[in-house]
Amino acid sequence: MKKPFVTKEQIEEIAKTYPTPFHIYDEKGIRENARALYKAFSWNKGFREYFAVKATPNPFIMKVLQSEGCGFDCSSLTELMLSDDVGAKGHDIMFSSNATPDADFKKAFELGAIINLDDFTHIDVLDKLTGIPETICCRYNPGGEFKTDGSPNVMDTPRDAKYGFTHDQLIEGYRILKEKGAKKFGMHAFLASNTLTNDYYPTLAGILFRTAVEIKEKTGVQLSFINLSGGVGIAYKPDQPQNDIAVIGEKVKEQYEKILVPAGMGDVAVFTELGRFMLAPYGMLIAKAIREKHIYKEYIGLDACAANLMRPAIYGAYHHITVLGKENAPLDHKYDVTGGLCENCDKFAVDRMLPKIDIGDYVAIHDAGAHGFSMGYNYNGKLRSAELLLREDGSVKLIRRAETPEDYFRTFDIFNKDYDL
Ligand SMILES: *Cc1c(COP(=O)(O)O)cnc(C)c1O
């Protein structure tokens, strides 16, 4: 059963200062999970997690992860700026972007970030813009279909993905980068998203480790690090099995010892670039039931909407809902739980069995800590909510204020309400 990390009483108290809706994050959960990840990969000397900033781009959350040893994976100019602002330096930053604008490449170079090239043609682009840095990484797309070893299988089709170098481009790419003066090399691949099997990373590692050996044989380039990127998922539904990061770490180690060590590559560092796994379970969207309606179906209207958490609306994604204070009540009412956007897809849950919801009840929408707030938008003129951090001592810190109408209208400021054409 999914249990919220706050009680109704806590939320009632918090809401006196910070009205709903808001996102709240659990510092204790974030730290414990980050430690479990580092423990799982402690067998690898250079291991490092580069938190995927896009999942939860908040400097306070980033500070928490930074203090647990994490670096940051950025894919845009502003994510780079945010990482710089929290004091990330040089190789604390991994820059994995695609269709990269010149300004973003320049910023990444200026910060001394590890640049992960998305494409063969970017070698030339970067060379002309900034020169090739001493440390450089290439993103690999093996094409074809990807299927995990073991069961249950996870399948994806890298050949349809826009990312990365082909196999032959990769080999040629390292050759050219070496010629151009690069000294340290990395490889990166992201082949499946939100995987719910302990076999995703190990299968991916097997592919990348074998490719690393081939690169060494064919080009003489010895990789310094291999970045398994993101994609380790979480169980959004209460009855799904959770990934076990300790098992995942152990199975990656088996591949490492089987493939890299015998090839004399036992000093390659393993990196990860997780977003969802690091944050999703440790953030909830808290909203209040403000309206009800009884037509062909039963509806509960919240003060939050898809603009605060769009995964259900765009992917039909399941997010568990707990009615706070009714954790043990029978699930004997069937509701569509909606937001107020003028879009029929703005539903946090459809035909969900829940306890009877009364107006004024607070609901916790679970697993919103990653790709939640950050995917928010302003459709219908809805404003982005505040973000709060539940500290380990039980206190609550505001880590982003809610947007105001002034924020929303700011890009019209220059006209001073003079809208005559
Ligand atoms: C989105 C992304 C991640 C993080 O993915 P999760 O599924 O959140 O773990 C990591 N690396 C890159 C390049 C990404 O685009």
Domain of 231, CATH number, reads: 3.20.20.10
Cis preceding linkage at 312, omega within 30: no
Going from the Cα of 278 to the center of ligand 1, the distance in angstroms, rounded, reads 11
Predicted confidence at residue 347, as pLDDT, reads 98
Q: Establish if 419 belongs to a structural domain.
A: no
Going from the Cα of 302 to the center of ligand 1, the distance in angstroms, rounded, reads 30
Shared domain check, 46 and 16: no
Mean pLDDT along residues 278-283: 98
CATH of the domain at 333: 2.40.37.10
Residue 167 pLDDT > 80, yes or no? Answer: yes
Predicted confidence at residue 1, as pLDDT, reads 80
Shared domain check, 275 and 298: no
Closest-CA residue, ligand 1 atom 10, reads 230
How does residue 325 score in pLDDT terms, banded at 50, 70 and 90? very high
Predicted confidence at residue 324, as pLDDT, reads 98
Q: Which string of DSSP letters, residue by residue, matches 324-336?
A: TT-TTS---EEEE
* 324 and 4 Cβ atoms separated by less than 8 Å: yes
Shared domain check, 264 and 137: yes
Element holding 365 (H helix, E strand): strand 362-365
Predicted confidence at residue 75, as pLDDT, reads 98
Residue 289 pLDDT > 80, yes or no? Answer: yes
Give the rounded percent of residues in the chain with a pLDDT score beyond 90.
98
**CA of residue 131 relative to chain centroid, distance:** 30
Q: Establish if 165 belongs to a structural domain.
A: yes
Query: Based on the structure, what is the number of domains in the chain?
Result: 2
Alpha-carbon distance of 268 to 51, in angstroms, equals 20
Where among 279, 305, 320 does a domain terminate?
279
3-class state of residue 139 by DSSP: strand
Where among 214, 248, 279 does a domain terminate?
279
Predicted confidence at residue 151, as pLDDT, reads 73
Going from the Cα of 48 to the center of ligand 1, the distance in angstroms, rounded, reads 15
Going from the Cα of 29 to the center of ligand 1, the distance in angstroms, rounded, reads 20
Shared domain check, 335 and 252: no
Q: What is the residue-averaged pLDDT of the chain?
A: 97
Closest-CA residue, ligand 1 atom 5, reads 230
Going from the Cα of 87 to the center of ligand 1, the distance in angstroms, rounded, reads 21
Shared domain check, 345 and 262: no
Q: Establish if 346 belongs to a structural domain.
A: yes
Shared domain check, 334 and 320: yes
Q: Domain of 176?
A: 28-279
| 271 CB near ligand 1 (under 6 Å) | no
Going from the Cα of 231 to the center of ligand 1, the distance in angstroms, rounded, reads 6
Predicted confidence at residue 158, as pLDDT, reads 94
Q: With b meaning 16 or more CB within 10 Å and e meaning fewer, what string describes 281-310?
A: bbbbbbbbbeeeeeeeebebbbbbbbbbbb
Closest-CA residue, ligand 1 atom 13, reads 96
Reported as a single tens digit per residue, the pLDDT across 218-264 is 999 999 999 999 999 999 999 999 999 999 999 999 999 999 999 99
Q: Establish if 414 belongs to a structural domain.
A: no
Residue with tokens 């799904």: 240
Predicted confidence at residue 276, as pLDDT, reads 98
Shared domain check, 340 and 357: yes
Give the rounded percent of residues in the chain with a pLDDT score beyond 70.
100
* 70 and 49 Cβ atoms separated by less than 8 Å: yes
Element holding 395 (H helix, E strand): none
Shared domain check, 246 and 343: no
Q: Establish if 420 belongs to a structural domain.
A: no
Ligand 1: which atom is nearest the Cα of residue 370?
A: 8
Residue 23 pLDDT > 80, yes or no? Answer: yes
Shared domain check, 389 and 331: yes
Shared domain check, 243 and 290: no
| 322 CB near ligand 1 (under 6 Å) | no
How does residue 177 score in pLDDT terms, banded at 50, 70 and 90? very high
Going from the Cα of 75 to the center of ligand 1, the distance in angstroms, rounded, reads 10
Going from the Cα of 229 to the center of ligand 1, the distance in angstroms, rounded, reads 6
Alpha-carbon distance of 70 to 50, in angstroms, equals 6
Residue 152 pLDDT > 80, yes or no? Answer: no
Q: Which ranges of 25-120 does DSSP label H, i.e. alpha helix?
A: 27-40, 59-67, 77-85, 102-111
How does residue 357 score in pLDDT terms, banded at 50, 70 and 90? very high
Shared domain check, 103 and 34: yes
| 370 CB near ligand 1 (under 6 Å) | yes
Predicted confidence at residue 149, as pLDDT, reads 87
Ligand 1: which atom is nearest the Cα of residue 194?
A: 7
Predicted confidence at residue 301, as pLDDT, reads 98
Ligand 1: which atom is nearest the Cα of residue 116?
A: 13
Mean pLDDT along residues 386-408: 98
Where among 210, 245, 279 does a domain terminate?
279
Predicted confidence at residue 202, as pLDDT, reads 98
Predicted confidence at residue 362, as pLDDT, reads 98
- Tell me the sheet residues that pair with 136: 115, 185
Beta strands 184-188 and 396-400, pairing class: unpaired
Q: Establish if 241 belongs to a structural domain.
A: yes
How does residue 49 score in pLDDT terms, banded at 50, 70 and 90? very high
Q: With b meaning 16 or more CB within 10 Å and e meaning fewer, what string describes 72-91?
A: bbbbbbebbebbbebebeeb
Q: Establish if 16 belongs to a structural domain.
A: yes
Shared domain check, 199 and 332: no
Q: Establish if 184 belongs to a structural domain.
A: yes
Predicted confidence at residue 153, as pLDDT, reads 78
| 54 CB near ligand 1 (under 6 Å) | yes
Reported as a single tens digit per residue, the pLDDT across 90-131 is 999 999 999 999 999 999 999 999 999 999 999 999 999 999
| 98 CB near ligand 1 (under 6 Å) | no
Residue 154 pLDDT > 90, yes or no? Answer: no
| 74 CB near ligand 1 (under 6 Å) | no
